[in-house]
Amino acid sequence: MNVQLTAEEKDFLSGAHGEAGAMAMRVVVSAAEMLGAASLVEITSAHIDGCLYHGDGGVEFAEALVAGGGRVAVSTTLNVGALDLLHPEMIRGDAHRVAMARRQMAAYVTLGCAPTWTCAPYQAGHRPGLGEQVAWGESNAIAFVNSVLGARTERYGDFLDACCALTGRAPLHGLHLAEARRARVVVDLSEVPDALKGRDVLYPVLGTWLGLEVGQEVSALVGLPATVTEDQLKALGAAAASTGAVALFHVVGVTPEAATLEQATGDQAPARRIRVTADMLRPALDRLSTVGEGAATIDAVAVGSPHFSAHEFDALTRLIEGKHSLVPFYACTGRGVLVELEASGQARVLRDAGVEIIVDTCVVVTPILPSAEGVLMTNSGKFAHYGPSNTGYEVVYGSLEDCVESAVCGQIRRAEEVWQW
Amino acid sequence: MVRGRIIVAGSAQGELLRLSAPISFWGGVEPTSGRIADTRHPEHGVCISGRVLAIPATVGSSSSSAIMLELIRENTAPAALLLGTADAIVALGVVVAVELGLGTVPVLEVPWQQILDLPAGQVDVAEDGTVRAAGAA
């Protein structure tokens, strides 16, 4: 099928924006053909996930764009890389891998991308508005920008994210279009106790369940309080995008395309309605821990997937100030947040308590954890999901309070009563 | 003989390998060896290099494009891909490999039932999107 191109888009193909622009447009048009898109859509922002090292091919691709005179056409942020550029000694790994990862990260900066190195660019000042067309990579960022901000992106992966950024275009399909954004599944949370809805620990579990239940369908969640926080929605989306291909969910009365249930569903009858019960959430909670019944101790704690916000650090500081972690305690965040923590003196308080602040990367995408196996405790649904396969560690899921309490005594401590209703 | 929808055109020959479960290339295939590395996958340990690889569906990470590119770079790629469900992410890795001059792999979308009807053994994938037993007219 032929993709309709504007004169400006054809100029890209003919090399008016250099060889890199032509190559990027060829890739975008190829993707549009594969996806069955009839035309391209102009975008205002991009978030590139392709800066994480998976092999030398990713480096060659980025450097080919640089050699071809490439330059991003829209405001573009960068996801995590494989290195903490500010604290390089934190990363283990062979010299070739480290050198290539550094080249890959440098090439994207040369293309004009902002060196944000964060999976939460939306908490680093990059917040597209309602209805804005964008091309974002990184599953949690995709879920957040679509759901919480109401901007429009499809799920963009390695290479296509960068080619969209260079051309300022994306294939016009899927979630760029209003029709695909209406909820087909209604999730009724009225049976979940209000006390649990007020706790952060619910949201990664709810997201884990949602991803398994709806896969890539758009859902509308009914019955969450208007006081649900941005960090809770971030955690929900990240977990849902780990166990499913969730790129958009609506929270009725909270998110911008869901003032009412009718708005969220586009006034059409949903294909399914699900009433969430304790029996549904319990398996999702259990899935986030892989340690056996008898496990008693932990070897490390990691928080910050997605990257911790300033608010989340405030909560951590309140909990851990004046105490000391007996095990390595990693808090992953963006370098912008670290600047705030250093300025306020909070970084010192955290380090005194034994918290290592990791920036630009995180513990499940690059070797940071001290050994090849052990037990990792986390409050993140995403760390809990990817931890075992990516790090070799068994995982234990708990609230931030549980994580701090466990870190201080080296023993697993979890408040279970909140899950009983 | 079956005819697929051409996602990336090309011709190839190889022994048919039908996966019995969906796969994520990222975390699922080891690019240096071409082996299926996902321990939960039914074909764990099987090498996909040089095979006409039929996959009911791809799942998981969008970084699978990067793994497809690595497979082509490392000469460990399948000879061709027959996808039961079209997937732009894996195919995009092939598009980029072509752009970088590293080579190509034909990619076709073929209804899974038709893939199941293909005979085992060597098959030919042709430029026109047809797949047939090797040597068959």
Q: Give chain A's contact residues with B (Cβ, < 8 Å).
A: 23, 26-27, 30-31, 34-35, 49-50, 52, 54-58, 60-61, 64, 137, 139, 155-160, 245, 389-390
Q: What is the pLDDT of residues A14-47, one digit of tens each?
A: 999 999 999 999 999 999 999 899 999 999 999 9
Q: What is the pLDDT of residues B28-49, one digit of tens each?
A: 899 999 999 887 789 999 999 9
Query: What single DSSP character describes residue A378?
Result: E
* CB spacing of B63 vs A55 below 8 angstroms: no
Residues of A in contact with B106 (CB under 8 A): none
B contact test, residue of A159, A242, A382 with most B CBs within 10 A: A159
Taking CA–CA distances from B98, the nearest residue in chain A reads A27
What is the percent of chain A where pLDDT is above 70?
100
Q: Is the ipTM of this complex over 0.85?
A: yes
Looking at residues A118-128, what average pLDDT do you find? 97
* C-alpha span between A223 and A197 (Å, rounded): 9
* CB spacing of B95 vs A52 below 8 angstroms: no
* H or E segment and range at residue A233: helix A230-243
Contact (CB, 8 A) for A379 and A296: no
- pLDDT-derived band of residue A238, with 50, 70 and 90 as boundaries? very high
Long-range contact set of residues A89-98: C-beta below 8 Å, sequence gap at least 24: A90/A356, A90/A358, A90/A368, A91/A361, A91/A366, A91/A367, A91/A368, A92/A367, A92/A368, A93/A366, A93/A367, A97/A53
Residues of B in contact with A23 (CB under 8 A): 99
- pLDDT-derived band of residue B137, with 50, 70 and 90 as boundaries? low
The yes-or-no verdict on residue A200 having pLDDT over 90 is: yes
Q: Which amino acid is at A131?
A: G
DSSP code per residue over A315-353: HHHHHHTT---SS-EEEEE-HHHHHHHHHHTHHHHHHHT
Q: What is the pLDDT of residues A338-392, one digit of tens each?
A: 999 999 999 999 999 999 999 999 998 899 999 888 999 999 999 999 898 888 8
* C-alpha span between A396 and A319 (Å, rounded): 19
Residues of B in contact with A54 (CB under 8 A): 26, 63, 66-67, 70
* CB spacing of B63 vs A35 below 8 angstroms: no
* CB spacing of A158 vs B65 below 8 angstroms: yes
The pTM of the full predicted model, rounded to 2 decimals, is 0.94
The yes-or-no verdict on residue B27 having pLDDT over 80 is: no
Q: Is the dihedral of CA A124, A129, A130, A134 positive or negative?
A: negative
A contact test, residue of B40, B76, B85, B95 with most A CBs within 10 A: B95
* CB spacing of A57 vs B27 below 8 angstroms: no
Spell out where B27-129 has E strands.
29-30, 35-36, 52-55, 80-83, 107-109, 122-125
* C-alpha span between B130 and B52 (Å, rounded): 13
Q: What amino acid positions of B are annotated as catalytic residues?
A: 61
Looking at residues A158-165, what average pLDDT do you find? 97
B63, B86, B100: residue with CB nearest A54:
B63
* CB spacing of A159 vs B102 below 8 angstroms: no
Q: What is the pLDDT of residues A309-349, one digit of tens each?
A: 999 999 999 999 999 999 999 999 999 999 999 999 999 99
Nearest-Cα distance to chain B for A316, in Å, is: 30
Mean pLDDT, chain A, integer:
96
Residues of A in contact with B7 (CB under 8 A): 34
Peptide bond into A328 cis (omega under 30): no
* CB spacing of B66 vs A50 below 8 angstroms: yes
* CB spacing of B99 vs A26 below 8 angstroms: yes
Q: Give chain B's contact residues with A (Cβ, < 8 Å).
A: 7, 26-27, 31, 59, 61-67, 69-70, 72-74, 86, 88-89, 91-93, 95-97, 99-100, 102
pLDDT value at position A300?
98
* Distance in Å from the first CA to the final CA of chain A: 54
- Alpha-helix residue ranges (DSSP H) falling in A251-398: 261-265, 278-287, 310-320, 335-344, 346-352, 381-391
The yes-or-no verdict on residue A1 having pLDDT over 70 is: no
Nearest-Cα distance to chain B for A242, in Å, is: 8
Contact (CB, 8 A) for A303 and A316: yes
- Alpha-helix residue ranges (DSSP H) falling in A80-229: 95-110, 139-147, 160-167, 194-197, 202-214
* C-alpha span between A198 and A220 (Å, rounded): 19
The yes-or-no verdict on residue A405 having pLDDT over 80 is: yes
Q: What is the pLDDT of residues B56-106, one digit of tens each?
A: 988 766 788 999 999 999 999 999 999 998 888 899 999 999 999 999 999
* CB spacing of A61 vs B69 below 8 angstroms: yes
Residues of A in contact with B86 (CB under 8 A): 34
Nearest-Cα distance to chain A for B48, in Å, is: 18
Looking at residues A84-111, what average pLDDT do you find? 93
* H or E segment and range at residue A40: strand A40-42
* C-alpha span between A181 and A178 (Å, rounded): 5
Phi, psi of A231 (to 5 degrees): -70, -30
Helix axes A160-167, A56-67, angle to 10 degrees: 10
